[in-house]
Amino acid sequence: MLQTARPASVSVATLVAVGATLLASSARADVASSNVCDASLDCTSKGNATLKAESREPIISSIGTGWLPACATPDAQGHCSDENIQVSTSIDLAAFPEPSREPLWMVDMTKAAVVAAAWPTPAAFELTVPTAPTMDGIFKVSHTLIPAVRVYANILGFKREWMYDASRFVTENAANFDYKATNTVMFAPWAMTQGVVNKVPAPTLTNTALLNVDLVKNSDNEVQLGLSASTSPTFTFRTTKVSLAGATAITKDAVTGKLPMVDADFLDLKADVEGEITVDGELIAAPYVAIKKIAGFTIPGGPMVLDLTNPLNAPKRQYTSEPPVAMKFPSVTVRIPLPNVKVPKSLDLDAAQVGQRSEKAVTIPNTGELGAKLKAESSDPQFTVDVAPAIGPKAEGTMTVRFSPAKDGEQTATITVRSSDPDSPVQTMTVKATGTKVPVVAPAPEDTGPPPAAGEIADSGCGCKTAGSSSGAPASAALAGFAAVLGLVVRRRRAR
């Protein structure tokens, strides 16, 4: 590929890492005017983005019920004067408590997230993130419910409020934690045009009881608290943006990133990939409160109870994460191999008699990490060309040019080589040869010095019979004939 001018705002270091081979124009063929890649030569490549991200941070928290039972005219704190007991729950949809290290969510696109590169013209690379043909992406969710509960009592003229917070719940239940919901779905990366949906089933009913504790038990107050909760949240993941170093960003609405052309054996592009996760669903929270003693007084007639565990009156709350939670994959480098073809600028062939033929082969290197495809044609039918249709990565191919003159004199032609080389898809080579009317005599053999004397030959032991002195006249005639032929060859060369 010929060295091309780069925009001042884009450096080679930004576009490609080590391995970008910048070539002097003297080492390359001239580039033809119709400088576009022939679609039949497959001017594309691709590289894998090994992407994986996970997090234990909550996506949605404090799914609250408010004070229950509710009333039409609560006071400033939300309490109702005609209710003896009220309860308010707030529940976090969270990762499993420590010592578990299980992430709340995990997105794995290490196998099939491909960045595709195309170069229909040498102006720029066109980068896309096509949907994978296989369901090799993994979206896993593992969650629990972490509650915080407040209880309000207005009994016997005493008003009290107690709190059961999330930290106490985690401390008391981490060792024997029952509420664990998990689900895994497979998807086709990149999930940019359509989100990946993971609906996580709730645990069985036997595992939905979160609390059954003495909220407070001392000489003044005795309060028992129970809570069951259940939800089947829907997690949705979508890739929102792919930023490749030096290129315009790829999004759902801008599906092609443009990267200025560069002469290289490969591209090493830093990739920063962003996404978003949304969560929505319905939470069922069923509290139970029994108060036996308040302010040192035992409740007459037994505990006063608030029971909202009946499915018919269990509180239900819709929830959604608005706006969606932004996430980002760790940066990775995407390596995209490229072909890099170098065609010689010129070639001189041996002379040939009209009606005869001469030929010469040249080597075409491909320094790139991707195999190259080629085809060639001649501007003059006196010159024909055969080129290797493909050259492997870091390999060489052969192009043979044949000269079959239809007339005498010096002849020239242009050999056009089209290849899958990104920045020089069309390269030309000037060829030159001479046609003659008379046969072309092969060059004389190199002079190895005077022939050995007759005596030396006789003494060599070869068994050959040597001529005597009487044979001098025939030998002189033979030498004279050889000199005449040699003179004719010299005159023809000077005439060319």
Q: What is the pLDDT of residues 401-423, one digit of tens each?
A: 999 999 999 999 999 999 999 99
The count of domains in the chain is 2
> Does one domain contain both 152 and 214?
yes
> Does one domain contain both 257 and 332?
yes
- Residue 284 forms part of a structural domain: yes
> Does one domain contain both 277 and 425?
no
Q: Is the pLDDT of residue 167 over 70?
A: yes
The residue among 290, 307, 337 that closes a domain is 337
Q: Is the pLDDT of residue 248 over 80?
A: yes
Give residue 314's pLDDT band: very low, low, confident or very high (50, 70, 90): confident
- Residue 199 forms part of a structural domain: yes
> Does one domain contain both 325 and 361?
no
**Average pLDDT of the chain, as a whole number:** 85
- Residue 352 forms part of a structural domain: yes
pLDDT at 20: 42
Higher pLDDT, 93 or 13: 93
Higher pLDDT, 359 or 476: 359
pLDDT at 453: 57
Give residue 186's pLDDT band: very low, low, confident or very high (50, 70, 90): very high
Residue 493 main-chain phi, psi, to 5 deg: -65, -40
Q: Is the pLDDT of residue 126 over 70?
A: yes
pLDDT at 446: 65
Residue ranges making up the domain that contains 84: 36-337
> Does one domain contain both 333 and 350?
no
> Does one domain contain both 314 and 408?
no
Please give the angle made by the CA atoms of 26, 2 and 361, to the nearest 5 degrees. Answer: 65
**Within a 10 A sphere around the Cβ of 361, how many other Cβ atoms?**
11
The residue among 316, 337, 358 that closes a domain is 337
Average pLDDT score over residue span 358-362: 97
> Does one domain contain both 296 and 389?
no
- Residue 493 forms part of a structural domain: no
> Does one domain contain both 245 and 127?
yes
Q: Is the pLDDT of residue 99 over 50?
A: yes
> Does one domain contain both 75 and 141?
yes
- Residue 412 forms part of a structural domain: yes
The residue among 337, 363, 398 that closes a domain is 337
Q: What is the CATH number of the domain that holds 383?
A: 2.60.40.10
Residue 359 main-chain phi, psi, to 5 deg: -150, 160
- Residue 452 forms part of a structural domain: no
> Does one domain contain both 277 and 361?
no
- Residue 261 forms part of a structural domain: yes
> Does one domain contain both 199 and 238?
yes
- Residue 451 forms part of a structural domain: no
> Does one domain contain both 322 and 401?
no
Q: Which residues of 291-307 are buried (b: 16+ CB within 10 A; e: fewer)?
A: bebbeeeebeeeebebe
pLDDT at 468: 36
